[in-house]
Structure formats: structure tokens, C-alpha cells
């Protein structure tokens, strides 16, 4: 493994600044099991972590065990009844009329089954994304990674698409306590509908989703869906066809994101790295290589804006592990060897035992003329945003609700109470001074953050 650019940034970025990367991992995450035959396998996160450790990437990051998100944390977006249901339902209780009558209401069933430890899984996923946001808010990291996050389909009061709790929305709400504008970018093969819906009426969050569109779950994400009210033109949808390859994807992603960064000027960015857009995915239909997928992270990294990196879909689990391991390397700024180091799951990666796999021979149904039309349409939409929205603070809430010393565990241990308390007080004073200098926030912001 070699550092690029003299031990700093990968060649894609114009800068040579080394990033402070923090990484969240719950050691029990791979024990959760959706059920026999279900395509969503949390074990893939353990496999990715195993590769990360065997490539020694963990030595280049701060490693955190997330503090489990509590019901109160999750209620910042989800309804009380839905959270109470998730917190109490179990495989043994679903036949009880008290619970069974709510299964359809909360869309819990085949795609989103009740399994052992369901709420614990949700707490770990959401806790990692909230913790990542806290790290960025406090300026303790430039990039924060949570591969157990990225569950973008969950709605306010229902599960959807293998997702129960929308850790992304919870993480963004945490970021909004400090950052005026947050950009959300989604490269999962499925439309990021849950996140878009949550922020569809506000200009404080811009959502950009690159996804398969048509007769494909969830069926949303038309190019004409641009947001409403104060959020009009702050939702961008890039509808794509089967066979999307690296070159075609890059030809859309980079000019669109470049323009978004220029016009919107986000204070923080969240990237959902759903790996079901890779070639050969069990449920996907794109033809991206691991490097092509990682180019999106590499490009966003080059802007030097606080960046949260999350997981998402991905159902050919050996390739998910490859992808998220490589993208962790991109985050820390090294180029790992293609030959895999021996690891506990080595047999999964045969017969080649390499980090990268060649794209398939799929036909690319995304014609250059269609790609140009999509690009021009979206760039025109962005041109309607003459400048970044000004969002003055009425007040800046405390960055976190739980005590600082309990929110994040480093290497399995709680942060030292004294230093954290002192830093917390300093940060609060700085935020208060900043807030006092601003004009009153519009009522719509108060309503959005309730």
C-alpha cells in the first residue's frame, strides 16, 4: 500500500492535504440477521471491516464504537408510535394482536421483517451516523465514516426497502444544528426517497440522487421532481437506465456536483455509498467498477468540505466489502494493493482474491444523447439558484442531547469527562456568540426541526 501525493491526498484531488478521518464500527453489527433468503445481510459490514483492518487502514483513522441511538434520538425524525413499535416488537410477539394489527400500518413484513435484535440494529446504525455528525460538528474530523448507515428508504412512520430508521435524516438533523446548509448525495442504484421526502420543502438541505428510474423500486425520483415551497429546486434527481458504466456515470456526476458545490456552497456534505450500483449486484442493474464508484467519494473529498460517508444498499456481499474497504482507503488517502491480504473471509473473494473486479459485459442503455439531455436539464435547474440560500440562526441548539462523554466511545472506551466538558463549554460559548450576531430565523426552520 502506498501513500499518494507524498502521503496525503489521492491523485484525483488538486490539494495535498491529509484528512483527519474518524470511523464508526459496532462489533456486533454482523450478528444481526434479517432471515433466510433475505438479500440484506449486515454481515457484509463485518466483512468490510475485516478487510479494512487487514489492509491496516484502521491505523490511519480514529476508531469509534458508536453510542446506541436512544428512542429520544430516533424520535427527532420518526413518530412516537412507530419508534415504540420498533422498540418493543419481536419475532415472538408479532402474532399478538397488539402488534400484528400494526404490521401493515408500519409496512413491516416481508421486505422489512421483524428479526431478533431489530431495534438494537437500528440503534447501532443511527448511533453511528449521529456520532459521525457530532464529530464533524465539533471539528474533530474532516471525514466521518459509518458503513452501517445509509438506510435511505425509511420514512417518518414506516419501514421501507429493508430500512427501518433513517439514520441519514437523523445525521443531517444533527449537522443542521451547526451547519447552515447540508448537501446530500446518493449513488445507490435505488432512489434516495426517504431523505428527499424529509427535506423536500426546505433549502437548508439539497438532495442529489443518481439512480435507476422506471419500473424499479421505489419508483420515485423523476427528473421533474425538484422540491416544493422553500425547497423548490433544492432536490435534484438523475434518472438512469441499465448498464451505467464508469465513464457515463463520471460524465454526469462530476459536472453536476461541481455546479452544485459552486451554487449551493454547502457547509457539510453527506455521501450515501450504496454498493448495489456496482456491476454484478444481486439486485442492481448498473455496471460500475469499484474504482468508478469510489471516484464519487474521491471527487467530493477534493472540495475540502466536512464529509460524512455512509453505506446503503449492496447485495453481492463480497463486492460490497471490496467497495467499502477501497472507499475507506480513498478517504484516508492511500492506494491499497489489489491483491487481498489473507483474512477471515478470504474464501469469499475467490477465484481471483483481488480487491477490484472487472465490470461485466452489460449493454449500456444510457445513450450519449440522453445523458447530454439529462446533464443540460439539471444544469439549467441549478442555474435558477443564483446564490446559496442565506439561513441565519435564531439559536444554535446544543450539538448533542446526551452528555458529550457518553455520546462517542473511542476504541470501546468513553471519552474522558473533564476535557470533553471543558471543550463543550467553550464550543457552546462560541456558538452563542455566533447566534447572537444573527437575525431571527424564519418560522419554517423551527417547524422543520421539530
3 state DSSP class of 274 = coil
111 is in an annotated binding site: yes
54 is in an annotated binding site: no
Edge-to-edge strands, sheet with 268-272: 235-240, 205-212, 182-186, 268-272, 307-310, 143-146, 21-24, 62-66, 408-410, 413-414
Q: Output the nine-digit C-alpha cell for 23.
A: 470511523
161 is in an annotated binding site: yes
CA distances, 102 to each of 97, 106, 108, 163, 180 (Å): 9, 6, 8, 17, 37
Give the residue numbers marked as catalytic: 153
Element (H, E) at 369: helix 368-383
> Closest by alpha carbon to 277, among 353, 208, 345, 211?
211
Phi, psi of 78 (to 5 degrees): -85, 155
193 is in an annotated binding site: no
3 state DSSP class of 396 = coil
Which residue is it, cell 474497504? 325
- Contact between residue 177 and residue 267 where contact means Cβ atoms under 8 Å apart: no
- Contact between residue 23 and residue 62 where contact means Cβ atoms under 8 Å apart: yes
274 is in an annotated binding site: no
> Closest by alpha carbon to 266, among 338, 331, 208?
208
264 is in an annotated binding site: no
Torsion-angle region of 73 (φ positive above 0: left; ψ -120 to 50: alpha; else: beta): alpha
- Contact between residue 166 and residue 184 where contact means Cβ atoms under 8 Å apart: no
| Residue positions forming the annotated binding site for substrate | 111, 161, 315
| Residue positions forming the annotated binding site for a divalent metal cation | 188, 190, 276
Amino acid at each position: 500500500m502506498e501513500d499518494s501525493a507524498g502521503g496525503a491526498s489521492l491523485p484525483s484531488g488538486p490539494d495535498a492535504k491529509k484528512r483527519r478521518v474518524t470511523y464508526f464500527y459496532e462489533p456486533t453489527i454482523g450478528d444481526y440477521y434479517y432471515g433466510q433468503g433475505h438479500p440484506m445481510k449486515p454481515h457484509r459490514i463485518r466483512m468490510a471491516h475485516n478487510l479494512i483492518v487487514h489492509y491496516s487502514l484502521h491505523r490511519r483513522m480514529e476508531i469509534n464504537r458508536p453510542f446506541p441511538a436512544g428512542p429520544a434520538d430516533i424520535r427527532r425524525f420518526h413518530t412516537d408510535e412507530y419508534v415504540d413499535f420498533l422498540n418493543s416488537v419481536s419475532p415472538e410477539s408479532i402474532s399478538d394482536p397488539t402488534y400484528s394489527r400494526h404490521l401493515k400500518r408500519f409496512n413491516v413484513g416481508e421486505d422489512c421483517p421483524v428479526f431478533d435484535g431489530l431495534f438494537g440494529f437500528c440503534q447501532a446504525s443511527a448511533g453511528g451516523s449521529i456520532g459521525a455528525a457530532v464529530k464533524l460538528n465539533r471539528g474533530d474530523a474532516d471525514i466521518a465514516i459509518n458503513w452501517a448507515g445509509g438506510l435511505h428508504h425509511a420514512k417518518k412512520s414506516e419501514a421501507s426497502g429493508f430500512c427501518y430508521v433513517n439514520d441519514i435524516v437523523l445525521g443531517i438533523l444533527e449537522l443542521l444544528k451547526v451547519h447552515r446548509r447540508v448537501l446530500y448525495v446518493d449513488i445507490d442504484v435505488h432512489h434516495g426517497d426517504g431523505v428527499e421526502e424529509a427535506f423536500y420543502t426546505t433549502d437548508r438541505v439539497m438532495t442529489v440522487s443518481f439512480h435507476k428510474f422506471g419500473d424499479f423500486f421505489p419508483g420515485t425520483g423523476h427528473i421533474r421532481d425538484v422540491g416544493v415551497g422553500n425547497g423548490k429546486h433544492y432536490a435534484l434527481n438523475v434518472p438512469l437506465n441499465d448498464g451505467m458504466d464508469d465513464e457515463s456515470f463520471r460524465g454526469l456526476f462530476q459536472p453536476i456536483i461541481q455546479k452544485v458545490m459552486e451554487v449551493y456552497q454547502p457547509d457539510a456534505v453527506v455521501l450515501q455509498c450504496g454498493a448495489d450500483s456496482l456491476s454484478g449486484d444481486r439486485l442492481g442493474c448498473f455496471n460500475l467498477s469499484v474504482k468508478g464508484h469510489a471516484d464519487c467519494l474521491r471527487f467530493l473529498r477534493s472540495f475540502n468540505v466536512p464529509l460524512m460517508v455512509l453505506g446503503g444498499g449492496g447485495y453481492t456481499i463480497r463486492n460490497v466489502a471490496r467497495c467499502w474497504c477501497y472507499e475507506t482507503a480513498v478517504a484516508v488517502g492511500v492506494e491499497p494493493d489489489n491483491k487481498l491480504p489473507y483474512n477471515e473471509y478470504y474464501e469469499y473473494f475467490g477465484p481471483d482474491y483481488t480487491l477490484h473486479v472487472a465490470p461485466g459485459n452489460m449493454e449500456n442503455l444510457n445513450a450519449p444523447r440522453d445523458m447530454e439531455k439529462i446533464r443540460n436539464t439539471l444544469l439549467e435547474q441549478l442555474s435558477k439558484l443564483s446564490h446559496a440560500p442565506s439561513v441565519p440562526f435564531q439559536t444554535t441548539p446544543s450539538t448533542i442531547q446526551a452528555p458529550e462523554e457518553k455520546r462517542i466511545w473511542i476504541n470501546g472506551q468513553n471519552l474522558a469527562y473533564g476535557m470533553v466538558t471543558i471543550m463543550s463549554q467553550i464550543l457552546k460559548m462560541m456558538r452563542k456568540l455566533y447566534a447572537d450576531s444573527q437575525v431571527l430565523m424564519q418560522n419554517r426552520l423551527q417547524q422543520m426541526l421539530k
